[in-house]
Amino acid sequence: MATRSGATSPAPAGPAAVKKKAKVAQTHTGLVRQARRINRELAEVYPYAHPELDFENPFQLLIATVLSAQTTDLRVNQTTPALFEAYPTPEAMAGANPVEMEEILRPTGFFRAKTRAVIGLSAALRDDFGGEVPGRIEDLVKLPGVGRKTANVVLGNAFGVPGITVDTHFGRLSRRFGWTTSEDPEQVEKDVASLFPKSEWTMLSHRVVFHGRRICHARKPACGACPIAPLCPSYGEGEMDPEKARKLLKYEKGGAPGQRLKPPPDYPGQPAPPLAAS
Ligand code: SF4
């Protein structure tokens, strides 16, 4: 079939016509070709892919990323306006009253641990980096509670330094696409990095995460409604019936708002509602 990007794909048109396929070993060149084709298709499906956390500067993105553990970006976006109004800088956040901050962070879950984490992180920024978020991965990963995933989110989106962000969605989809067999995020990052030019890393991360959140879910991927089914070696792992699959779609693909309260101008859905309205 001719895809929207003009590429020729090996299977007949439409997910419903795609047959469940046996996984076959690929050469590295074959894998590079398949991976780049999937990336091109995802770019067509999600031309508006973007970071789903609201932020106005590197400090806000760093804190929001730490808060996004074990919750949705939507919930973080609904919580951070009050947080950054009360504590707009690392200095202010480092000096916060923990009990007051816990009340603000309560909706994000694990709010006591998260309060300790962001106060500790802010103190390290204040004491070791002059109150500025550093723009190098070697420095970012020295901050308490900051691993490569968080560091790459901040570098890619607040500093324009290409980075592959291996979160739970990116790892799962990379394995489903056959780009890696590893469960170790650092190895996944290396394996996927070898398939793409650096210039694609940040946007690839957004597209794959968008796809994982909206269509290729952990428990029940919506294969029957998946626009990249003809390219996917794992087609058939999830719901193949197109009608049932469509009901599994989330966020704007499922007809609901996305996750940002302040989405980018080209975003096709509705902004998400603030906390009090949800
Ligand atoms: S939803 Fe199914 S076909 Fe689509 S990427 Fe996921 S596993 Fe592959």
- Gap between the Cα atoms of 258 and 250, Å rounded: 9
Share of the chain above pLDDT 90, in %: 86
pLDDT value, residue 269: 85
The pTM of the whole model exceeds 0.85: yes
CA of 172 to the centre of ligand 1 (A): 11
3-state secondary structure of 41: helix
CB of 238 closer than 6 A to ligand 1?
Answer: yes
Residues in contact with 89: Cβ distance below 8 Å, sequence separation at least 6, in sequence order = 59, 131
H helical segments located in the chain: 28-45, 58-67, 73-86, 90-94, 98-105, 111-128, 137-140, 148-158, 168-176, 185-193, 201-214, 242-246
How confident is the model over 169-220, as pLDDT tens digits? 999 999 999 999 999 999 999 999 999 999 999 999 999 999 999 999 999 9
Residues in contact with 59: Cβ distance below 8 Å, sequence separation at least 6, in sequence order = 89, 90, 125, 133
CA of 229 to the centre of ligand 1 (A): 6
What domains does the chain contain, in order, with CATH numbers?
15-50+163-254 (1.10.1670.10), 58-158 (1.10.340.30)
Find the mean pLDDT for residues 150-160. 97
pLDDT value, residue 24: 63
Catalytic pick among 149, 244, 247, 250: 149
User: Which whole-number Å values give the CA distances from 157 to 19, 41, 112, 205, in the listed order?
Assistant: 38, 22, 27, 11
pLDDT value, residue 8: 34
3-state secondary structure of 8: strand
Q: Does the annotation mark 167 as catalytic?
A: yes
Q: Does the annotation mark 149 as catalytic?
A: yes
CB of 139 closer than 6 A to ligand 1?
Answer: no
The closest alpha carbon to 167, from 212, 201, 116, 228, belongs to 212
3-state secondary structure of 222: coil
| Count of other CB atoms within 10 angstroms of residue 277 | 7
How confident is the model over 14-43, as pLDDT tens digits? 444 566 665 666 899 999 999 999 999 999
- Gap between the Cα atoms of 94 and 76, Å rounded: 19
CB of 215 closer than 6 A to ligand 1?
Answer: yes
CB of 18 closer than 6 A to ligand 1?
Answer: no
Find the mean pLDDT for residues 68-78. 96
CB of 208 closer than 6 A to ligand 1?
Answer: no
The mean predicted confidence, pLDDT, of the chain is 92
